[in-house]
Amino acid sequence: MPHGMAPLAWITESPRVWVLMGHKAGDNSQVLSLAEGLGWPFEIKRFVYNRFEPLAHALFGATLKGVDASRSSQLAAPWPDLVLTAGRRNEPVARWIKQQARPHTVRIVHVGRPWSNLDHFDLVVTTPQYRLPERSNVVQNKTPLHRVTAERLSADAALWAPRLRGLPQPMIAVVIGGPSGPYSFDREAGRRLAVQASALARSCGGSLLVTTSARTPAQAIDAFVGAVDVPYSLFRWAKDAKENPYFAFLGLAQSIIVTGDSMSMLTEACATRKPVYIFDLGEGRNAMRPDAPVPPFRWRPVESTHVKAFLYRQLLRFGPVRLGRDIRIIHRDLIEAKRAVWLGERFPEGPLPPLECLDNAVAGVRALFQLPPLTVPAPLMEWRELQPVRRSA
């Protein structure tokens, strides 16, 4: 029986589900993936945080003191049976909901790494990079959750295909993230990515479908554009963009290159069951690969991302395991499972295995409600946003 579970035989219909959205796209994608995978109607709750949020979190635990209530979704009865959340900022909100709902029973499922004590959560769905202990209330997945489906890829690909008709086939998607922890994504990394991606496209007479993300430094993309020498289409991420071809590029591509910083984007690429190539942001001793060759020394200007990367490397080396994350663990697992290779290496032949992360997470949540694992595909999902965020003028 999962940690903290009490009999819930009185539930005769789908549990009431609230999904707490955060400020990181990767976190939001994972909680939405789990909500959709469960097949239960759910409500989205959005929040705007004030500048005192970190202090409120540290001092009060289960609280709304870090939330700007006038610009955030309302939280009131009828209370949910299940709260799905991710990210540090939402932890005190989820715990506050559970506290306010008593004696009604609320289950909290946290996706990723919680910063609070694990006992505060009924279930934690995590990945090896966070190195959480083995616990009865922890589901250890090999990869993050994802929202890739054949239907989503097909629909978006059909929408964008006419706009990309002039590009040579086959098309290779290039999914670009940004600096992450001990790894810096600078101008030189952008240039190397362009050179290596161009070489792969040139080898098959194809083209590149390039998309950036919110974390991609402008100077790195400029360096990429300056060095790419094959036909390509580039989408520069923008907060106010009306359309985003991300899923379309995954659907149209024959193979996919992903920068090794984003575990969510790597997982989504692998979920397509197409060849995936991981681009190493670093070189030599700063590389993601343990056996990366050391390039000859050449001077380059120090960028702000270099300083942050250096400080994070010291945290990994000298700080508590709980505070850092080692994404190389997921790189290794994907490569050992033959789902991905490093860019520049030959992709192995044979069928690509499916990912099981979502099935494991759904089974863990259903067990909280004493429900058996799903044996048929979940129905078309339905969600409602009952309390939208009120934006300031």
Between 139 and 350, residue with greater pLDDT: 139
Q: How sure is the predictor about 306, in pLDDT bands with cuts at 50, 70 and 90?
A: low
Cβ proximity of 374 and 362 under 8 Å: yes
* pTM for the full predicted model: 0.80
Angstrom distance (rounded) from CA 326 to CA 311 = 15
Task: Tell me the two tokens of residue 159.
Answer: 């929408």
Residue 158 Cα distances to 162, 169, 300, angstroms: 8, 16, 43
Task: Tell me the two tokens of residue 1.
Answer: 């029986």
Q: Which of 240, 289, 261 minimizes the C-alpha distance to 176?
A: 261
pLDDT exceeds cutoff 80 at 294: no
pLDDT of residue 372: 84
Classify 79 as helix, strand or coil: coil
Q: Which helix (DSSP H) or strand (DSSP E) does residue 367 occupy?
A: helix 357-368
Task: Tell me the two tokens of residue 26.
Answer: 């990767």
Task: Tell me the two tokens of residue 242.
Answer: 């009306």
Cβ proximity of 338 and 350 under 8 Å: yes
Half-sphere exposure of residue 314: CA atoms within 13 angstroms, side-chain side: 5
pLDDT of residue 1: 38
Per-residue pLDDT averaged across 32-45, rounded? 96
pLDDT of residue 343: 97
Over the stretch 188-230, which tens digit does the pLDDT of each residue have?
Answer: 999 999 999 999 999 999 999 999 999 999 999 999 999 999 9
Torsions phi, psi for 172 (to 5 deg) = -115, 125
Angstrom distance (rounded) from CA 202 to CA 129 = 34
Bridge partners (DSSP) of residue 234 are 210
Cβ proximity of 222 and 255 under 8 Å: no
H helices of 43-110, in order, are 53-60, 91-101
Task: Tell me the two tokens of residue 52.
Answer: 């005192």
Q: Which of 13-22, 231-240, 270-279, 323-332 comes out lowest in average pLDDT?
A: 323-332
Most confident listed range (21-25, 361-365, 377-381): 361-365
Cβ proximity of 310 and 374 under 8 Å: no
Cβ proximity of 225 and 195 under 8 Å: no
Classify 384 as helix, strand or coil: strand
Task: Tell me the two tokens of residue 300.
Answer: 């380059």
Over the stretch 140-164, which tens digit does the pLDDT of each residue have?
Answer: 999 999 999 999 999 999 999 999 9
Secondary structure of 320-346 in HEC code, one letter for each residue? CHHHCCCCHHHHHHHHHCCCEEECCCC
Task: Tell me the two tokens of residue 147.
Answer: 């929202």
Whether residue 170 is preceded by a cis peptide bond, meaning omega within 30 degrees of 0, is yes
* Proportion of the chain above pLDDT 90, given as a percent: 66
Q: How sure is the predictor about 10, in pLDDT bands with cuts at 50, 70 and 90?
A: very low
Cβ proximity of 253 and 247 under 8 Å: no
Cβ proximity of 109 and 123 under 8 Å: yes
Q: Which helix (DSSP H) or strand (DSSP E) does residue 43 occupy?
A: strand 42-45
Whether residue 54 is preceded by a cis peptide bond, meaning omega within 30 degrees of 0, is no
Average pLDDT over the chain, rounded to whole? 86
Task: Provide the 10 A C-beta neighbour count for residue 83.
Answer: 27
Angstrom distance (rounded) from CA 364 to CA 370 = 10
Task: Put the strands of the sheet holding 42-45 in their side by side order.
Answer: 138-140, 123-126, 107-111, 82-86, 17-20, 42-45, 383-384
Cβ proximity of 178 and 161 under 8 Å: no
Task: Tell me the two tokens of residue 100.
Answer: 């306010």
Cβ proximity of 15 and 108 under 8 Å: no
Classify 252 as helix, strand or coil: helix
